[in-house]
């Protein structure tokens, strides 16, 4: 079984246009260095065309082609850096509708921001209750530390409900503050909330030594390897990840891709074909491989929901309704 612990919905309702424009400008700068003229407009058009998968059908088709059974759908809150195209309630309903349309395939991590105050805490708890969202997503680059005291009421909800917290680490898009992407910034929160599991998003790709250090010494800190297809490593991402898998923290590492970030350059099925090759897991025990590919994600995000996605005991795939699915249509009709 394979669980992708970090994907996003390719919808321009969930990702601000400003962020896609910054990504296009970055691609255009790389092309210009190789003698290609200004292509930022063309790249942006390509990105925008690919960010119309509002119901998740294309994402599910790509997961199927790659052999991925279930995925954790990350709904980040970018609103304090650039407004979303839709209000939070509509964005939450959109993600819940995707879960209802594709039962058993997704668990959602809802994005929060400490500057939202008590209303943000109430919304988070509401969506966890009504839609069955499986945890919380932080995007500190928009202007806060993952140990910001204003986040503590959110962490108290997570502690009470047994929900994990995924926090972005490393660089991001546009004019964001990359200094807020250091893994060590989560250490204070992890110490103050030892019963809450914190996952360092992209921690196996950027600031790897720092992220691995935290995973080795903090029982409640984990990392995912999402964004590995963009690995800036002299010998490539296969060799890099093989070294990571030999650090003795495989019980803390979650497989993830950050799909569809790399759709313009590679297919998800091609990434998975290379990922499951012998070179990547050379010298890695079979049990460790199972933990990385699904076991750790199932432990953090729920055995029952992942078991639904993997199919029945006869090997056939079957699905149960997603949590809150019966409320999604009513919410959308009301709007």
**What pLDDT does 176 receive?**
92
pLDDT digit string, tens, across residues 125-139: 999 999 999 999 999
CB-based burial label for 313 (10 Å; 0-12, 13-18, 19+): exposed
**What pLDDT does 314 receive?**
31
Taking Cα atoms as reference points, which of 202, 205, 192, 214 lies closest to residue 137? 202
**What pLDDT does 232 receive?**
63
pLDDT band at 335 (very low <50, low <70, confident <90, very high): very low
Tokens 């969930």 correspond to 14
Q: What are the residues whose beta carbons fall under 8 Å from the beta carbon of 170, sequence distance 6 or more? A: 178, 181, 201, 202, 203, 205, 206, 207, 227
CB-based burial label for 97 (10 Å; 0-12, 13-18, 19+): buried
Over 80: is that where the pLDDT of 43 sits? Answer: yes
pLDDT digit string, tens, across residues 287-334: 999 999 999 999 999 853 433 333 332 333 333 434 444 444 444 344
pLDDT digit string, tens, across residues 234-256: 678 999 999 999 999 999 999 99
Q: Kindly report the backbone phi and psi dihedral angles of residue 160, in degrees, each rounded to the nearest multiple of 5, phi listed first.
A: -70, -30
Helix, strand and coil percent figures for the chain, each rounded to 5 = 50, 10, 40
Mean per-residue pLDDT of the chain: 88
pLDDT digit string, tens, across residues 134-183: 999 999 999 999 999 999 999 999 999 999 999 999 998 878 999 999 99
- The domains located in the chain, with CATH, are 3-334 (3.20.20.140)
Q: Percent of the chain, pLDDT > 90?
A: 71
**What pLDDT does 233 receive?**
63
Element (H, E) at 183: none
Bigger pLDDT: 329 vs 230: 230
Please, are residues 210 and 182 in contact by the beta-carbon 8 Å criterion? Answer: yes
**What pLDDT does 327 receive?**
43
């Amino acid at each position: 079984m394979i669980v992708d612990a970090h994907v996003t919905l390719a919808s321009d309702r969930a990702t601000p246009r400003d962020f896609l424009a910054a990504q296009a400008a970055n691609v255009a700068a790389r092309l210009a260095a190789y003698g290609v003229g200004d292509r930022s407009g063309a790249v942006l058009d390509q990105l925008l065309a690919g960010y119309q998968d509002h119901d998740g059908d294309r994402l599910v088709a790509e997961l199927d082609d790659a052999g991925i059974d279930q995925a954790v759908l990350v709904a980040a809150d970018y609103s304090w850096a650039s407004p979303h195209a839709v209000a939070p309630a509509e964005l939450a309903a959109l993600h819940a509708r995707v879960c209802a349309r594709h039962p058993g395939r997704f668990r959602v991590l809802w994005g929060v921001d400490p500057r939202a105050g008590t209303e943000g805490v109430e919304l988070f708890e509401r969506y966890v209750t009504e839609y069955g969202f499986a945890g919380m997503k932080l995007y500190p680059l928009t202007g806060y530390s993952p140990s910001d005291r204003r986040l503590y009421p959110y962490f108290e909800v997570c502690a009470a409900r047994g929900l994990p917290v995924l926090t972005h680490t490393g660089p991001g898009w546009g004019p964001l503050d990359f200094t807020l992407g250091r893994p060590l910034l989560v250490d204070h929160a992890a110490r103050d909330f030892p019963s809450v599991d914190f996952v360092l998003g992209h921690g196996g790709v950027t600031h790897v030594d720092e992220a691995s250090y935290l995973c080795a010494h903090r029982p409640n800190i984990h990392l995912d390897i999402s964004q590995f297809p963009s690995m800036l490593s002299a010998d490539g991402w296969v060799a890099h990840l093989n070294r990571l898998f030999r650090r003795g923290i495989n019980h803390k590492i979650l497989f993830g891709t950050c799909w569809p970030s790399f759709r313009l350059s590679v297919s998800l099925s091609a990434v998975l074909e290379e990922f499951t090759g012998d070179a990547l897991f050379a010298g890695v025990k079979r049990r460790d491989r199972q933990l990385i590919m699904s076991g750790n994600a199932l432990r953090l995000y729920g055995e029952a929901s992942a078991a639904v996605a993997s199919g029945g005991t006869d090997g056939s795939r079957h699905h149960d309704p997603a949590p809150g699915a019966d409320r999604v249509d009513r919410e959308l009709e009301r709007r």
